[in-house]
């Protein structure tokens, strides 16, 4: 009887711990699966994005990432790619800051 009283709490604790560990593993897997298409999923949510067109390219900010894409008559969101400012010259960065200011100003109107 005493052996049962000692082993039972230990077994229940171990079972609860295993349940929590397996549940967290599945939740992490689901979150990783969703990260692949975050940009596309966010775009389908009906959210409006302000876009600036400059020198045959469209620029916009979404979820704190600065994007650029080629344009025809309107931005081609299929060719969108994040901008790597670390590899740009000071002149190019100043141009992007002007574009970013214009996007912010149009949002205030």
Using 70 as the pLDDT threshold, list the residues of the chain that sit under it.
24-46, 109
With the CA atoms of 84, 90, 95 and 98 taken in that order, what torsion angle do they form, in degrees rounded to the nearest 10? 100
Residue with tokens 């800051």: 97
Q: What tokens does 95 get?
A: 């141009």
- The shares of helix, strand and coil residues in the chain, as percent rounded to the nearest 5, are 60, 15, 25
pTM, full prediction? 0.39
**Tens of pLDDT, residues 59-84:** 888 888 888 888 777 777 888 888 88
């Amino acid at each position: 009887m005493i052996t049962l009283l000692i082993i039972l709490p230990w077994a229940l604790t171990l079972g609860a711990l295993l349940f929590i560990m397996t549940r967290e593993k599945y939740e992490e897997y689901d979150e990783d699966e969703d990260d692949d298409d975050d940009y596309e999923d966010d775009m389908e949510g009906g959210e409006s994005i302000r876009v600036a067109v400059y020198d045959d390219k469209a620029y916009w900010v979404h979820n704190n990432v600065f994007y650029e894409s080629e344009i025809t008559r309107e931005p081609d969101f299929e060719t969108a790619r994040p901008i790597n400012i670390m590899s740009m010259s000071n002149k190019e960065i100043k141009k992007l800051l002007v574009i970013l200011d214009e996007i912010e100003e149009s949002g205030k109107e």
